[in-house]
Amino acid sequence: MTGIARISSGAPWEPIFGYARAVKADGWLAVSGTTSFDENGLIVGRNQMYVQARQAIANIATALERAGMSLADVVRTRVFVTDMERFAEVARAHLETFGDNPPASTMVEIRRLVNADMMIEIEADAYRDPAKAAVTAKSSVAAKSKAAAKHKDIAVAKRGARKAVKKTPRRRP
């Protein structure tokens, strides 16, 4: 095992409750229950289940990206809603996101969430083979190094071209 990495989102509840947005261990990533908070910690989409579902999924995508993963790596979601009557709105958001790579999923109605304006909370588990991730990372680093070397060669060539052009003093008429 390569160790455990904890990823914070900066949500205001993390230091209060003592949790991380996501925890990565080898090829696995567990994303904590995620709601529809924005970058300022405010709830997006009051009374709008679909909007809250989309924002929660976007927040999950951000946590995945920080861990070097994507929504395509999600293998399981757990969806907690405060109103099962609005299933179609949640299903629409989930299908739009995961339709091409559907994870195992569960949806459960609960009485309420920590904030009365929150209507949905989603957990996600993702997996990416560490060997494949390492190969992808190495090829990405190699591509960046190659691009940097090419950029450096171009810069050196431009400097050389400037040196090769002999400057003649300009005469005034």
Domain match, 73 and 110 both: yes
Indicate the pLDDT class of residue 39, thresholds 50, 70 and 90: confident
Residue-wise pLDDT for 100-112, tens only, equals: 999 999 999 999 9
Could you give the CA distance from residue 58 to residue 71 in angstroms, rounded to a whole number?
9
Give the pLDDT band of residue 27 (cuts 50, 70, 90). very high
Helix (H, G, I), strand (E, B) or coil at 143: helix
- Total Cβ atoms within 10 A of residue 83: 13
Angle between helices 49-66 and 87-98 (to 10 degrees): 30
N residues, the chain:
173
Q: Tell me the average pLDDT of the chain.
A: 83
Is 172 domain-assigned? Answer: no
Q: Is the pLDDT of residue 137 over 60?
A: no
pLDDT mean over 126-136: 78
Q: Looking at the structure, do residues 16 and 85 belong to the same domain, yes or no? A: yes
For 150, the domain range is 138-166
Q: Is the pLDDT of residue 151 over 90?
A: no
**Domains in the chain, number:** 2
Question: What confidence tier does 8 reach under pLDDT thresholds 50, 70, 90?
Answer: confident
The reply to whether 19 and 102 lie within a common domain is yes
What pLDDT score was predicted for residue 167?
47
User: How far apart are the two ends of the chain, measured CA to CA in Å?
Assistant: 78
